[in-house]
Amino acid sequence: MKTIKELIEFLNELESKSIYYQLNKTRDESIMVEVVVPGQRWEIEFMIDGTIEIEKFLSDGNFFDAQELEVLIKEFSD
């Protein structure tokens, strides 16, 4: 299957470049590679139909103090 070949080749490339990753499965039809590099986080999904979906999360460089924890919990709780 081409998808598995592409996945393994991609993982080998990350390893050869010393880029940390972890695997995850959030959907029935894909395997996700989660990559964290300075200022970015990538979610790369290798789909069963051969497609690859990439979502990038970019940091704006802002940092917050401990008071932000309360804001986050309040904003995202039920």
- Are 77 and 68 in contact by the 8 Å Cβ rule? The answer is no
Whether pTM > 0.75 for this model: the answer is yes
Q: Which residue type sits at 54?
A: I
Chain CA centroid to CA 63, Å: 21
pLDDT digits 0-9 by tens, 23-50: 999 999 999 999 999 999 999 999 999 9
Q: What is the pLDDT of residue 3?
A: 77
All structural domains of the chain, each given as residue ranges with its CATH number in brackets, are: 2-76 (3.30.160)
- What's the pLDDT band for 1 if we cut at 50, 70, 90? low
Q: What is the pLDDT of residue 78?
A: 76
Cβ neighbour number for residue 74 with a 10 Å cutoff: 8
**Residue-averaged pLDDT of the chain:** 94
Chain CA centroid to CA 36, Å: 7
